[in-house]
Chains A and B, each alone.
Chain A
Amino acid sequence: MVDQLPNLGREAEMLSAMGMSSIEELFADIPAEVRMTGALPLPPPQSEEEILADARRLLGSNVALGERVSFLGAGLYRNYVPASVFQLVNRGEFLTAYTPYQPEVSQGMLQAMWEFQTLISELVGLPVANLSLYDGSTAAAEALTCCVRVHNRKATQKDTVYVSELTPPDRLSVMYNYCQGADITIKLLRHHSDGTLDLDAVSEAVGSCGVYVEQPNPLGILDGGLSQLKAILGKTTALIVAVQPVSLGLVEAPGHYGADIVVGEGQPLGSPITGGGPIYGIFACSKDYLRLMPGRIVGRSIDVDGKVAYCLTLSTREQHIRRHRATSNICTNETLIALMGAMHMALLGPEGLHALAVRNMTACILAKQKLSQVENINLPHSNSHHFNEFVIELPGSSKDCLAHLDAVGIVGGFDLSAWYPERTNWILATFTDQNNANQIELLVSHLALWASSQGVNA
Chain B
Amino acid sequence: MSNLFEHNGAKGQGYSQPAPVLPESSISLPASLTRKALPRWPRLSEPEMVRHYTWLSKRNFGIDTGFYPLGSCTMKHNPRVNEVIAQIPGIADIHPHQPEHHIQGLLAIFHEMQYMLEVCSGMDQVTLQPVAGAQGEFTAVRCVQEYFRQRGETQRTKVIVPDSAHGTNPASAAMCGFEIVEIPSRTDGRIDLDALRAVADETTAVMMITNPNTLGLFEPDIVEASAIIHGVGGQMYYDGANFNAILGITSPGLMGFDAVHFNLHKTFSQPHGGGGPGSGPIGVRSHLAEFLPGPLVKKRPPIGNESQMVIDDMWYGWYQPTHSIGKVQQWHGNAGAIIRCWAYYRRYGSGLRTMSEHAVLNANYLRHAIHKATKAAGVDSMVRDGAEAKVTKHEFTLSLAPAKEMYGISAMDVAKGLLDMGYMAPTVYFPLVVPECMMIEPTETESKETLDEFATHFAEVLQIDAETLHAAPTTTPVRRVDEVYAARNLCLRHPYDDE
B360 interface residue, CB < 8 Å from A? yes
A408 interface residue, CB < 8 Å from B? no
Choose among A304, A319, A436 the residue that contacts B480 (Cβ–Cβ < 8 A): A304
Which of A171-179, A200-208, A230-238, A374-382 participates in binding chain B? A171-179
- In this complex, what residue of B is CB-closest to A63? B102
Docked CA distance A252–B29 (Å): 10
Which residues of B are found within 8 Å of A118, using beta-carbon distances? 4-5, 493-494
- On whether the beta carbons of B96 and A76 are closer than 8 Å, the reply is yes
Which residues of A are found within 8 Å of B447, using beta-carbon distances? 6-7
B53 interface residue, CB < 8 Å from A? yes
- On whether the beta carbons of B353 and A40 are closer than 8 Å, the reply is yes
B151 interface residue, CB < 8 Å from A? no
- On whether the beta carbons of B56 and A347 are closer than 8 Å, the reply is no
What are 20 A-B contacts defined by CB distance under 8 Å? A3-B347, A17-B365, A33-B254, A36-B249, A59-B85, A59-B88, A62-B90, A63-B98, A88-B54, A97-B62, A98-B73, A103-B481, A181-B174, A299-B487, A303-B482, A336-B271, A347-B44, A347-B49, A350-B43, A385-B30
Which of B229-237, B328-336, B374-382, B399-407 participates in binding chain A? B328-336
A424 interface residue, CB < 8 Å from B? no
- In this complex, what residue of B is CB-closest to A131? B275
Which residues of A are found within 8 Å of B228, using beta-carbon distances? none
A316-353 residues with Cβ-Cβ distance < 8 A to B are: 318-326, 328-337, 339, 343, 345-353
Which residues of A are found within 8 Å of B106, using beta-carbon distances? 58-59, 62, 275
- In this complex, what residue of A is CB-closest to B159? A324
- On whether the beta carbons of B334 and A277 are closer than 8 Å, the reply is yes
A417 interface residue, CB < 8 Å from B? no
- On whether the beta carbons of B42 and A311 are closer than 8 Å, the reply is no
- On whether the beta carbons of A104 and B416 are closer than 8 Å, the reply is yes
Choose among A58, A347, A361 the residue that contacts B46 (Cβ–Cβ < 8 A): A347
B484 CB, min distance to chain A CBs, angstroms: 9
- On whether the beta carbons of B476 and A105 are closer than 8 Å, the reply is yes
A82-115 residues with Cβ-Cβ distance < 8 A to B are: 82, 84, 86-88, 90-109, 111-115
Kindly list the 5 A-B residue pairs having the minimum CB-CB distance in the complex, ordered from nearest: A276-B331, A336-B273, A92-B64, A59-B90, A108-B60
**Contact flag A336-B277 (CB < 8 Å), given A137-B330, A277-B337, A301-B483:** yes
| Mask: chain B, 120-151; 1 = CB below 8 Å from A; 0 = not | 10000000000111110110001000000000
Which of B175-183, B196-204, B457-465 participates in binding chain A? B175-183
Docked CA distance A227–B116 (Å): 51
Docked CA distance A85–B39 (Å): 21
A193 CB, min distance to chain B CBs, angstroms: 20
- On whether the beta carbons of B52 and A346 are closer than 8 Å, the reply is yes
Choose among A14, A15, A109, A343 the residue that contacts B60 (Cβ–Cβ < 8 A): A109
Which residues of B are found within 8 Å of A362, using beta-carbon distances? 20-24, 26-27
Which residues of A are found within 8 Å of B173, using beta-carbon distances? 324
- On whether the beta carbons of A29 and B276 are closer than 8 Å, the reply is no
Docked CA distance A72–B95 (Å): 8
A115 CB, min distance to chain B CBs, angstroms: 5
Which residues of B are found within 8 Å of A62, using beta-carbon distances? 90-91, 94, 102-106
- On whether the beta carbons of A173 and B327 are closer than 8 Å, the reply is yes
Docked CA distance A9–B168 (Å): 38
**Contact flag A64-B90 (CB < 8 Å), given A119-B39, A350-B39:** yes
A229 CB, min distance to chain B CBs, angstroms: 12
Range for the number of chain A residues in contact with chain B: 35 or more
Question: Could you count the A-B residue pairs with CB atoms below 8 Å apart for me: how many are there?
Answer: 692
Interface size (B, Cβ < 8 Å)? 199
- On whether the beta carbons of B352 and A363 are closer than 8 Å, the reply is no
**Contact flag A252-B14 (CB < 8 Å), given A26-B391, A275-B331:** no
- On whether the beta carbons of A275 and B27 are closer than 8 Å, the reply is no
| Mask: chain A, 38-65; 1 = CB below 8 Å from B; 0 = not | 0111111110101110111111111111
B186 interface residue, CB < 8 Å from A? no
B99 interface residue, CB < 8 Å from A? yes
- On whether the beta carbons of A252 and B36 are closer than 8 Å, the reply is yes
Give me 6 other A-B pairs in contact (C-beta within 8 A), A114-B492, A333-B277 excluded.
A45-B346, A97-B61, A324-B170, A329-B138, A348-B13, A385-B30
Which residues of B are found within 8 Å of A54, using beta-carbon distances? 346
Docked CA distance A107–B479 (Å): 11
- On whether the beta carbons of B277 and A334 are closer than 8 Å, the reply is yes
- On whether the beta carbons of A134 and B329 are closer than 8 Å, the reply is yes
Choose among B17, B350, B448 the residue that contacts A42 (Cβ–Cβ < 8 A): B350
A214 interface residue, CB < 8 Å from B? no
- On whether the beta carbons of A222 and B29 are closer than 8 Å, the reply is yes
- On whether the beta carbons of B64 and A96 are closer than 8 Å, the reply is yes
Docked CA distance A118–B6 (Å): 13
- On whether the beta carbons of A98 and B41 are closer than 8 Å, the reply is no
- On whether the beta carbons of B21 and A40 are closer than 8 Å, the reply is no
B68 interface residue, CB < 8 Å from A? yes
Which residues of A are found within 8 Å of B364, using beta-carbon distances? 18, 26
- On whether the beta carbons of B480 and A303 are closer than 8 Å, the reply is yes
Choose among B63, B134, B177, B419 the residue that contacts A330 (Cβ–Cβ < 8 A): B134
Which residues of B are found within 8 Å of A444, using beta-carbon distances? none
Which residues of A are found within 8 Å of B94, using beta-carbon distances? 62, 64-65, 273-275
B248 interface residue, CB < 8 Å from A? yes
Which residues of A are found within 8 Å of B46, using beta-carbon distances? 82, 84, 347
Which residues of A are found within 8 Å of B265, using beta-carbon distances? 332
B35 interface residue, CB < 8 Å from A? yes
- On whether the beta carbons of A181 and B333 are closer than 8 Å, the reply is no
Which residues of B are found within 8 Å of A26, using beta-carbon distances? 357, 360-361, 364, 391
B466 interface residue, CB < 8 Å from A? no
Docked CA distance A248–B36 (Å): 11
- On whether the beta carbons of B492 and A297 are closer than 8 Å, the reply is yes
- On whether the beta carbons of A35 and B448 are closer than 8 Å, the reply is no
B308 interface residue, CB < 8 Å from A? no
- In this complex, what residue of B is CB-closest to A431? B21
- On whether the beta carbons of B430 and A320 are closer than 8 Å, the reply is yes
- On whether the beta carbons of A177 and B326 are closer than 8 Å, the reply is yes
Docked CA distance A402–B97 (Å): 12
Interface centre among B275, B333, B424 (most CB of A within 10 A): B275
Docked CA distance A236–B368 (Å): 59
A154 interface residue, CB < 8 Å from B? no
Docked CA distance A358–B332 (Å): 31
Which residues of B are found within 8 Å of A277, using beta-carbon distances? 131, 277, 329, 331-337
A188-204 residues with Cβ-Cβ distance < 8 A to B are: none
A217 interface residue, CB < 8 Å from B? no
- On whether the beta carbons of A17 and B368 are closer than 8 Å, the reply is yes
Which residues of A are found within 8 Å of B333, using beta-carbon distances? 276-277
Interface centre among A23, A249, A309 (most CB of B within 10 A): A309
- In this complex, what residue of B is CB-closest to A5? B358
- On whether the beta carbons of A299 and B490 are closer than 8 Å, the reply is yes
- On whether the beta carbons of B249 and A27 are closer than 8 Å, the reply is yes
- On whether the beta carbons of A95 and B448 are closer than 8 Å, the reply is no
Interface centre among B14, B34, B135, B223 (most CB of A within 10 A): B14
Interface centre among B18, B95, B142 (most CB of A within 10 A): B95
B77 interface residue, CB < 8 Å from A? yes
- In this complex, what residue of A is CB-closest to B4? A115
- On whether the beta carbons of A28 and B347 are closer than 8 Å, the reply is no
B290-335 residues with Cβ-Cβ distance < 8 A to A are: 311, 325-335
Docked CA distance A183–B58 (Å): 47
Docked CA distance A42–B481 (Å): 48
- On whether the beta carbons of A97 and B92 are closer than 8 Å, the reply is no
Docked CA distance A273–B53 (Å): 23
Which residues of B are found within 8 Å of A138, using beta-carbon distances? 131, 135, 328-329
- On whether the beta carbons of B105 and A59 are closer than 8 Å, the reply is yes
- In this complex, what residue of A is CB-closest to B90? A59
A120 CB, min distance to chain B CBs, angstroms: 9
Docked CA distance A336–B43 (Å): 22
Which residues of B are found within 8 Å of A239, using beta-carbon distances? none
- On whether the beta carbons of B14 and A348 are closer than 8 Å, the reply is yes
- On whether the beta carbons of A331 and B168 are closer than 8 Å, the reply is yes
B339 interface residue, CB < 8 Å from A? yes
Choose among B62, B358, B444, B450 the residue that contacts A96 (Cβ–Cβ < 8 A): B62
Which residues of B are found within 8 Å of A25, using beta-carbon distances? 391
Interface centre among B365, B391, B473, B492 (most CB of A within 10 A): B492
